[in-house]
Structure 1
Amino acid sequence: MGENLPSVAGGAPQPHRDTLCRPVRTLRVKMVLLGGSGVGKSSLALRFSKDEFRSTSPTVGCAYLTRVVHLSNVTLRFEMWDTAGQEKYHSVTPLYYRGAHTALLVYDISKRETFIRAQVWLKELEKQCTPGSTVIWLVGNKGDLAEERQVSVQEGQSLANERGLFFSETSALSGDQVSELLMAVAHRVYECVGAQQGGLSEWQDMPLVDLRRRHKFNPLASCCKAGP
């Protein structure tokens, strides 16, 4: 199904706010980015995480990034797994996307073969995911290459409608529609998965322990003791 992305005032959602306004609960969301090599998965993940763009080398295995998104009554901590698109890593990719709450199937609008490849990933994903447990989003990336387009908006939307997916087009290079996509995904995941019993687990920040205060260091003490 298609998705009208909500507008976000001031650009990308801000990861830091006044702590007095921050919602009490923080829920963990596992996001996986799937698609062929060179479609811009790493660039999208970097936009999501830091709102930056830089040229990247092909991902080896999988890369991991995080991003905190604040909704009206909850905070979602996205744990983003950016998978390698090369064929030689195909067999290990399921290890990363099992248990994902949301999956982004990314293709390059200027390369039709990547659109076909995204449909292969979709079949693989459907084998691993329980219906209703994963929000799946079809993403046509590289909107900045519209003059070289090989996959129309209508084709992307039609596939999404046919397979019950959400659909968006983005440009990781310019940042167009990237923050809007993340916010839309956040709302959908919370509505569709977070409402289920055991759908999203709560995330707890581990407190830092000052070992120097707990165990004062005595330079004259020995780590070994002879005798009783």
Structure 2
Amino acid sequence: MADQGQEGGAAPAAPTPTPAATEATAAAAAAPNTNVATVQPMAKYKLVFLGDQSVGKTSIITRFMYDKFDSTYQATIGIDFLSKTMYLEDRTVRLQLWDTAGQERFRSLIPSYIRDSSVAVVVYDVTNQTSFANTVRWIKDVRAERDSDVIMVLVGNKTDLSEKRQVTAEEGEAKAKELGVMFIETSAKAGVNIKALFRKIAGSLPGMESVSISRANNLVDVKLTPQTGSGGAPAAASCSC
């Protein structure tokens, strides 16, 4: 019966905390939690694509973004912008892709987009000697705005049109060495070296010591053999971008 009376009685009062205990509790609450992981902001890099009209700048970006090719040519008007997250071995980066118009009437817009860029991708058409010659001017424009504070890549596109080629891979590589930029050939239509192009760029971004900008001779040379039609004649090939 004594046990029942004890259960029905009032609970004993909690001990009053001492001043020292109160101060210790407050200090612990104010101290930062070192076990919480710090979230680092994702690094963002601006890539501006330059080159004459119809060399395939938009098609390279479309192939990289969506892994597709649109054979219907439509000229870029002004500036287009797309963004894509790229997952690397040791980090994740956000690539901001700026597609510029190649027409002369939009030329005055280009410098403002070059100024804060991290990478300049100068594209030419391997079947168009004039577009190749004009890359010197495009690269000069980049250096006028960014000097050496930008990564530059010279890209020879449309290698799928091997029978119409006017600029050899050796000429492209030599020009890149002369200008001190990286070089690669691609085919947006066939999807050749598109991923390699962006891996090359990502490897040269600040903080990626594994790849140096000075490796301009790192050429990925892919030779395509044209298909033959009936009777052994070469099959017609065309690329509108």
Partner-residue secondary structure (3-state), 2:47 = strand
TM-score under structure 2 normalisation?
Answer: 0.68
Partner amino acid, structure 2, of 1:154: E
Within 1, Cα distance between the matches of 2:134 and 2:109? 17
Residue of structure 1 equivalent to 2:15:
none
CA contact (8 A) 1:24 1:74 kept: no
From 154, 161, 182, the equivalent of 1:138 is 154
Unmatched 5+ stretches in structure 1 = 1-22, 194-228
Report matched runs for 1:58-207 at 5 Å.
58-131=75-148, 133-191=149-207
Within 2, Cα distance between the matches of 1:85 and 1:92? 11
Kindly, what percent of the aligned residue pairs are identical? 35
Unmatched 5+ stretches in structure 2 = 1-38, 210-241
RMSD of aligned Cα (Å): 1.6
Aligned length: 170
Larger Rg: 1 or 2?
Answer: 2
Partner-residue secondary structure (3-state), 2:184 = strand
Partner-residue secondary structure (3-state), 1:128 = helix
Tell me: CA distance 1:105–1:180, structure 2 relative to 1, closer, same or farther (3 Å).
same
**How far apart are residue 130 of structure 1 and its match?**
3.2
CA contact (8 A) 1:107 1:115 kept: yes
Within 2, Cα distance between the matches of 1:171 and 1:103? 19
Q: Which moved more, 1:65-74 or 1:77-86?
A: 65-74
Residue of structure 2 equivalent to 1:212:
none
CA contact (8 A) 1:135 1:188 kept: yes
Within 1, Cα distance between the matches of 2:145 and 2:48? 13
Partner-residue secondary structure (3-state), 2:183 = strand
Q: Which has the higher contact order (CA 8 A, sep 6+)?
A: 1
**How far apart are residue 24 of structure 1 and its match?**
5.6
TM-score under structure 1 normalisation?
Answer: 0.71
